C-alpha cells in the first residue's frame, strides 16, 4: 500500500511534512486484574511494595483494589514507551504476593459473588475518600462486574513543533491553543466514524465465563460448560455486557466545538437521574454515590475516545479543557491482546499512529445526531458480528459492506503510514498496515478469531485459555530483564508515593462531608 511522499502531501493538501513532526507523543495506560495462582480474583489489598495507588505515577488501581493500572509517561520513541511499560510489568511481578499473577484477558476471571470484588481504597485524605466514593457510586449504578473489565488506553498527541506551521498552512489566524483544540476535535470526529475498524482489528474478547452473565439477560451462545461466546464476536467488552450504560444510551455528545462538548457533559453532571435519585446519595449514614445526577463526574461518560489535558491540582478535568484547550486525545477502544505480554506491541502502535494521524489530517465534516447514533449502531454490529464476511454497516443511512469499507479506510490510512515511513526510515508503518489488511481478508487472523480457534482446537474453556496465557506471560516477565537502574527508580518512586500520600492526608483542614458538599458545588 506504500505511496509516494508527494502523493501523500497532496492527499492532505500539505506543502510539506517536516521530519520533526513525526515525533508523535504517545503514552499507554493498561489495566490488569491481580489473580491468585488458581485464577481467582485477588481479595488482598494493593501491595504496599507497589507504593501508593493515590500518588504513584506508574502503578495505581482503577475500580478495584485488584484492578491494577500501569501508566507510562508520554514518549516520542515507541521502543522507549514499550520498554517503560515492560519495566512496570516486571517490577510488579516481582512484588506481587502469594504467587499472584496478572490476568491477560479483558473479560474478567471466574468470580464468586460480585459483592466480593474489593473496591479500590486511596487512604484517609478527602481526595482519596472521594475517589473511593466515586467507585462505590459506579458499583451501585452499574454493578461491580462491569467495572473490572480491563482495557488499554492510548494517549496520542502531535509534537509542539508541528502546530504553528500547520496552523499557517491552514490559513488560521486565531490563537494557537484554539487551533489545536479545533484540530483535535476534528480527529475525534473522524475517529468516531471509523473506530469500528479498530474494534474489528484488535478486539480480543469474543468469549466470557458464564459467571459473568449470571442473573443478566443475554443472547450469548454456549461454547462449553463454563464459557459463552458469539461465533463472529470481536469485542464483547464494548457490547451490552461490557462498558455500556443504559442511562447514557440517549446521551448525544457533540464534538463539533469544545464548548458544545463541555455543555453536554455539564448538563449530564447537573441533571438528576430518577433511578439514581431513588437510590439516594446516602443511606443509614453511609454515602452511596457522589451525587444523584446522570453523571457523577466527567470520567463516568463512556466513550471510545476522550479529549484530554493534564489537570492541575484541585482542577476539574472539564474546567482544564475549557480554560486551556485540548492537549492530547485518549483512545479507549482497545482490548488486552492475551497473546502479548504487555497487551499490545510495536506493530499495533505503528498502525494506531498512522490511523490517528490520518484522522487528524483528512477532511472531517461536523457530526450530527443521526450520524452519532449510526456510529454507535455500527460499533454494536462489529462487536457482535464483526468477523462475519457478509456483514454490512451503515454509512450516511445507506448499507455498506464492512470489508469494502475497511479496505477503503486502509487505503486512505496508507497516506499517513507512508509519510511516517519516509520520515522515520524503513517500512514499519506500511508493514503494520499490511498486517491489518490481511485481517480484513481473513477474519481468523484477528485476535478474536485466533482466540476462538485456539479454544476450540485445544478444547479449552475461556478460563483455561486465559490461564494458559497468563502463566506464559508470568514466566516471561519473572525471568529477570529489569535493569538495576529501572528497579531502583521503581522502588524510589513507590517509596516517595507513600510519603506523598501521607503528606496529602496531613494537609486536610475540613471534614469529608464539607469537602464533598464543596466539590459538588464546583
Over residues 124-137, the pLDDT tens digits come to 999 999 999 999 99
CA–CA gap between residue 396 and residue 248 (Å, rounded)? 23
Burial environment of residue 207 by CB neighbours within 10 A (0 to 12, 13 to 18, 19 or more) = buried
CA–CA gap between residue 334 and residue 191 (Å, rounded)? 13
**Could you write out the DSSP letters of every residue in 71-93?**
E---BS-HHHHHHHHHHHHHHHH
CA–CA gap between residue 65 and residue 495 (Å, rounded)? 19
- pLDDT of res. 481: 85
- pLDDT of res. 307: 97
Q: Is the pLDDT of residue 282 over 90?
A: yes
- pLDDT of res. 146: 86
- pLDDT of res. 138: 95
Is the C-alpha dihedral spanning 364, 366, 371, 373 positive or negative?
positive
> Where is 166: in which H helix or E strand?
helix 160-169
Chain centroid to CA 453: how far? 26
Per-range mean pLDDT, top range of 103-112, 218-227, 329-338: 329-338
Going by the DSSP 8-state scheme, the letter that residue 2 receives in this structure is: -
Percentage, residues of the chain above pLDDT 70: 98
Confidence of residue 419 (pLDDT cuts 50, 70, 90): very high
**Could you write out the DSSP letters of every residue in 184-216?**
HHHHHHHHHHHHHHHHHHH--BSEEEGGGGTTS
Flag the least confident range among 85-99, 201-215, 417-431, 503-517: 201-215
Query: How confident is the model over 43-62, as a mean pLDDT?
Result: 97
Per the model's pLDDT, the better-predicted residue between 60 and 211 turns out to be: 60
Query: How confident is the model over 57-72, as a mean pLDDT?
Result: 98
- pLDDT of res. 245: 63
> Where is 228: in which H helix or E strand?
strand 227-229
Task: Report the half-sphere exposure of 220 (CA within 13 A, side-chain side).
Answer: 29
**Closest by alpha carbon to 105, among 15, 235, 243?**
235
Tell me the per-residue pLDDT of 113-125, one tens digit each, with 9 for 90 and over: 788 899 999 999 9
Query: How confident is the model over 335-345, as a mean pLDDT?
Result: 98
Q: Is the pLDDT of residue 314 over 80?
A: no
Tell me the per-residue pLDDT of 190-203, one tens digit each, with 9 for 90 and over: 999 999 999 999 99
- pLDDT of res. 395: 96
Contacts of 377 (CB under 8 A, 6+ apart): 394
- pLDDT of res. 486: 97
Per the model's pLDDT, the better-predicted residue between 245 and 501 turns out to be: 501
- pLDDT of res. 466: 98
- pLDDT of res. 328: 98
Contacts of 182 (CB under 8 A, 6+ apart): 172, 257
Query: How confident is the model over 402-417, as a mean pLDDT?
Result: 98
Contacts of 119 (CB under 8 A, 6+ apart): 63, 64, 65, 132, 135, 136, 139, 144
Cα distances from 117 to residues 145, 149, 281, 307, 519, in angstroms, run 8, 12, 22, 30, 27
Q: Is the pLDDT of residue 54 over 60?
A: yes
Q: Is the pLDDT of residue 383 over 60?
A: yes
Q: Is the pLDDT of residue 220 over 70?
A: yes
Q: Is 68 helix (H, G, I), strand (E, B) or coil?
A: strand
- pLDDT of res. 246: 67
Confidence of residue 109 (pLDDT cuts 50, 70, 90): confident
**Closest by alpha carbon to 36, among 112, 87, 147?**
112
Confidence of residue 244 (pLDDT cuts 50, 70, 90): low
Tell me the per-residue pLDDT of 10-42, one tens digit each, with 9 for 90 and over: 999 999 999 999 999 999 999 999 999 999 999
Q: Is the pLDDT of residue 165 over 80?
A: yes
**Domains of the chain, each with CATH number or no CATH:** 25-386+443-521 (3.30.590.20)
- pLDDT of res. 281: 97
- pLDDT of res. 191: 98
Tell me the per-residue pLDDT of 466-486, one tens digit each, with 9 for 90 and over: 999 999 999 999 987 899 999
CA–CA gap between residue 118 and residue 43 (Å, rounded)? 6
Flag the least confident range among 150-164, 325-339, 365-379: 365-379
Calculate the average pLDDT of the chain: 95
Longest dimension (CA), the chain: 69
Amino acid at each position: 500500500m506504500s505511496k509516494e511522499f508527494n502523493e501523500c502531501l497532496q492527499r492532505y493538501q500539505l506543502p510539506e511534512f517536516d521530519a520533526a513532526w513525526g515525533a508523535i507523543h504517545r503514552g499507554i495506560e493498561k489495566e490488569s486484574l491481580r489473580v491468585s495462582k488458581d485464577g481467582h480474583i485477588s481479595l488482598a489489598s494493593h501491595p504496599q511494595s507497589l507504593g501508593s495507588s493515590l500518588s504513584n505515577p506508574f502503578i495505581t488501581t482503577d475500580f478495584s483494589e485488584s484492578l491494577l493500572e500501569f501508566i507510562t509517561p508520554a514518549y516520542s520513541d515507541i521502543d522507549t514507551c514499550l520498554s517503560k511499560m515492560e519495566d512496570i510489568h516486571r517490577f510488579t511481578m516481582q512484588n506481587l504476593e502469594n504467587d499472584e499473577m496478572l490476568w491477560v484477558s479483558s473479560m474478567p476471571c471466574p468470580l464468586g459473588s460480585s459483592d466480593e470484588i474489593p473496591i479500590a481504597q486511596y487512604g484517609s485524605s478527602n481526595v482519596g475518600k472521594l475517589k473511593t466514593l466515586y467507585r462505590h457510586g459506579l458499583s451501585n449504578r452499574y454493578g461491580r462486574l462491569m467495572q473490572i473489565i480491563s482495557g488499554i488506553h492510548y494517549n496520542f498527541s502531535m509534537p509542539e513543533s508541528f502546530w504553528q506551521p500547520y496552523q499557517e498552512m491552514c490559513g488560521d489566524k486565531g490563537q494557537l491553543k484554539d487551533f489545536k483544540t479545533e484540530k483535535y476535535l476534528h480527529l475525534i470526529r473522524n475517529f468516531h466514524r471509523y473506530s469500528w475498524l479498530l474494534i474489528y482489528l484488535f478486539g480480543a474478547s469474543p468469549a466470557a465465563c458464564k459467571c459473568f452473565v449470571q442473573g443478566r439477560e443475554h443472547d450469548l451462545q454456549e461454547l462449553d460448560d463454563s464459557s459463552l461466546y458469539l461465533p463472529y464476536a470481536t469485542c464483547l467488552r464494548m457490547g451490552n455486557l461490557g462498558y455500556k450504560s443504559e442511562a447514557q444510551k440517549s446521551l448525544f455528545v457533540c464534538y463539533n466545538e469544545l464548548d458544545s462538548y463541555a455543555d453536554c457533559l455539564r448538563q449530564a453532571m447537573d441533571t438528576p437521574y430518577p433511578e439514581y435519585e431513588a437510590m439516594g446519595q446516602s443511606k443509614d449514614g453511609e454515602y452511596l454515590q457522589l451525587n444523584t445526577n446522570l453523571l457523577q463526574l466527567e470520567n463516568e461518560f463512556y466513550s471510545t475516545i476522550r479529549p484530554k489535558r493534564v489537570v492541575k491540582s484541585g482542577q476539574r478535568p472539564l474546567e482544564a479543557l475549557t480554560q486551556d484547550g485540548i492537549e492530547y486525545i485518549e483512545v479507549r477502544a482497545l482490548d488486552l491482546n492475551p497473546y502479548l505480554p504487555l497487551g499490545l506491541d510495536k506493530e499495533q502502535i505503528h498502525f494506531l499512529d498512522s490511523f490517528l494521524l490520518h484522522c487528524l489530517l483528512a477532511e472531517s465534516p461536523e457530526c450530527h445526531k443521526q450520524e452519532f447514533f449510526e456510529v454507535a449502531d455500527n460499533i454494536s454490529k462489529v462487536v457482535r458480528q464483526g468477523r462475519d464476511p457478509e456483514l454490512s454497516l451503515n454509512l450516511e443511512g445507506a448499507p455498506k459492506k464492512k470489508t469494502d469499507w475497511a479496505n477503503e479506510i486502509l487505503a486512505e490510512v496508507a497516506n499517513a503510514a507512508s509519510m511516517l515511513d519516509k520520515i522515520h526510515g524503513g517500512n514499519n508503518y506500511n508493514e503494520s498496515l499490511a498486517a491489518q489488511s490481511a485481517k480484513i481478508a481473513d477474519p481468523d487472523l484477528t485476535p478474536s478469531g485466533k482466540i476462538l480457534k485456539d479454544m476450540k482446537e485445544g478444547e479449552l474453556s475461556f478460563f483455561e485459555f486465559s490461564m494458559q496465557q497468563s502463566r506464559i506471560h508470568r514466566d516471561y516477565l519473572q525471568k529477570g530483564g529489569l535493569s538495576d537502574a529501572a528497579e531502583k527508580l521503581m522502588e524510589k518512586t513507590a517509596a516517595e508515593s507513600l510519603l506523598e500520600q501521607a503528606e496529602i492526608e496531613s494537609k486536610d483542614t475540613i471534614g469529608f462531608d464539607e469537602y464533598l458538599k464543596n466539590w459538588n458545588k464546583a
